[in-house]
Structure 1
Amino acid sequence: MTTWVLLRGLARDSRHWGDFPQRLAAAQGASTQVLTPDLPGNGLLRNARSPCSVAGMVAALRDGLAREGVLARGPVHLLGLSMGSMVAIEWARRHPGELASAVLVNGSARGLGPPWARLRAAAWPVLARAAWPGTSPAQRERLVLSVCSSRPHDPHALAAWTRIAQAGVTRPSNALRQLLAAAGWRLPPAPPPVPLLVVACAQDALVAPSCSVRLAQAWGLPLALHPTAGHELALDDAAWLAERCSAWAAGAPAPAEGDLRP
């Protein structure tokens, strides 16, 4: 059996994957298991306290998967989106034997770019408005979509994300802990001994895609570029991402598409 573990980003949870887990399972075949654990403080675990470090997030995820017997069945594949890519790298650094491979989507780290590239300056006032007290769930998710997706006016995505927000969101204190953990995490000096694929989206309005380019260049990793998607690649083009992940897990080379320079 092939097992994928999907890792979301800051203050997002397993519900925000939409139908991507099903698409990935279908692309991989009947013997594929796709797991979408929440980080403490998010989703089903929103009442828990978020770790203040990326290492703490790795420990929490491993504990949960170990209790379910997942890690005992053999190495798993990771897909990390945004902050989830930091968690994937830290996991690979600390426990490489538990991983078969990892796909790092639209990530960043200290050393890969200035703060206004890791979180693009134009997104700051939008996210501040989204977090402003009194902002309705629909207003907040519309603002988040405007910087996270290349199709921000998709009514289905907005309705789905609004329902998620109405059902329960990450507490501000936990979002702050996650933000501090991500801001303080630094890329290791050398790549871990795990096959890594870097994926960047040319229209990412939240995190500059040059961060992913620099990561691929620094570690000599393959880079796959989506020319039109935004930060939320699993929303903007789930089929493309599922195909890339499936090919990577099967050992096929990941072709770069388009041209993106730091």
Structure 2
Amino acid sequence: MHWILLRGLTREQAHWGDFPARLKDAFPGHQFHAVDLPGTGVHFREDSPDTIAGIRQRVIRQVDHIPRPFSLLALSMGGMVAMDWAQQAIEGEIQNLVLINTSSGFSPPWQRMRPGAWPRILRLLARRELFDRERDILRLTSNREVTLELAKRWYSTQRQRPVSARNALNQLSAAARFRPAEKRPLPDALLLASRGDRIAHWRCSAALEQRWQWTLKLHPDAGHDLPLDDPEWVISRMHQWLTR
């Protein structure tokens, strides 16, 4: 089975860290492909569309060489792209859908972006010192200790493949305006959310659970970047769900 991994706002495949390797160890026989959104990673020189549909179309073109069907594992805004993809796909193209700390227009704005996060995100976008910005992004998205080694690694990634302010704003606009279609894309999907998420409230995932009768699992204290804070918990919940 081929899995497509999608990250969130202004993040790229390097920000997964060793999570893809952990997935490969946990699910032998499955292949995991970390794909960058337009405007990030290997595509940092490209302009990002300002709609989720536009981003999804560009992502699909990137994976034309990978045999179908796909399973999708996506975090935050990547989850919006995955949701939109699953709704637009032909029957059978998407087999499994795992959404981590994602949100949608089915939830109110103050849950999709918690009020306390807005000032910090705006300050981050305006900050010129790259190392401090990456360290502060980690402090906002993770509820674990931010080590100097990790901050340096994220700084190096952004220095090599910087996300432009324009692309960051385009992605932010796309995420803010995203509302899925009413039709349930799959009979079941796995929703993983963190009670300690300081960006998106876990009730955004609960809204999807209630609307489409999907499976929701809540982590007690991890932050928005759940695969960074507790990768083994994510893998364990995936294993339980896939073998249901």
TM-score for the superposition, normalised by structure 2: 0.94
Counterpart pick for 1:48 among 25, 46, 49: 46
Cα distance in 2 for partners of 1:201, 1:56 equals 28
Structure 1 counterpart of 2:243: 251
Structure 2 counterpart of 1:205: 198
Residues 141 and 197 of structure 2 are in contact (CA less than 8 Å); yes or no, is this contact kept in structure 1? yes
**1:159-196 deviations in whole A, cap 9, x for unaligned?**
22122122222111111111111111112213113531
Structure 2 counterpart of 1:17: 16
Cα distance in 1 for partners of 2:215, 2:148 equals 35
Structure 2 counterpart of 1:33: 31
Cα distance in 1 for partners of 2:92, 2:55 equals 18
Q: 2:226 aligned with 1:233, yes or no? A: yes
Q: 2:119 aligned with 1:125, yes or no? A: yes
Cα distance in 2 for partners of 1:112, 1:89 equals 15
Residues 3 and 31 of structure 2 are in contact (CA less than 8 Å); yes or no, is this contact kept in structure 1? yes
Shift of 1:133: 4.4
Shift of 1:52: 1.8
Residues 49 and 170 of structure 2 are in contact (CA less than 8 Å); yes or no, is this contact kept in structure 1? yes
Shift of 1:153: 2.7
Structure 2 counterpart of 1:256: none
Counterpart pick for 1:110 among 98, 105, 108: 105
Q: Given the superposition, is the C-alpha separation of residues 238 and 150 from structure 1 closer, same or farther in structure 2, using an over 3 Å criterion?
A: same
Q: 2:166 aligned with 1:173, yes or no? A: yes
**1:217-258 deviations in whole A, cap 9, x for unaligned?**
12111101111210001110111112222333x332xxxxxx
Residues 5 and 73 of structure 2 are in contact (CA less than 8 Å); yes or no, is this contact kept in structure 1? yes
Equivalent pairs, count: 243
Aligned-residue sequence identity (percent) comes to 37
Q: 2:83 aligned with 1:89, yes or no? A: yes
Residues 20 and 234 of structure 1 are in contact (CA less than 8 Å); yes or no, is this contact kept in structure 2? yes
Cα distance in 1 for partners of 2:236, 2:147 equals 23
TM-score for the superposition, normalised by structure 1: 0.88
Residues 9 and 82 of structure 1 are in contact (CA less than 8 Å); yes or no, is this contact kept in structure 2? yes
Structure 2 counterpart of 1:222: 215
Partner AA of 1:78 in structure 2: L
1:155-174 equivalence runs, <5 A: 155-174=148-167
Shift of 1:130: 1.5
> Is there any run of 5+ residues in structure 1 with no aligned partner, and where?
253-262
Q: 2:68 aligned with 1:74, yes or no? A: yes
> Is there any run of 5+ residues in structure 2 with no aligned partner, and where?
none
Partner AA of 1:77 in structure 2: S
Residues 101 and 194 of structure 1 are in contact (CA less than 8 Å); yes or no, is this contact kept in structure 2? no
Cα distance in 1 for partners of 2:95, 2:187 equals 7
Cα distance in 1 for partners of 2:80, 2:230 equals 22
Cα distance in 2 for partners of 1:52, 1:97 equals 28
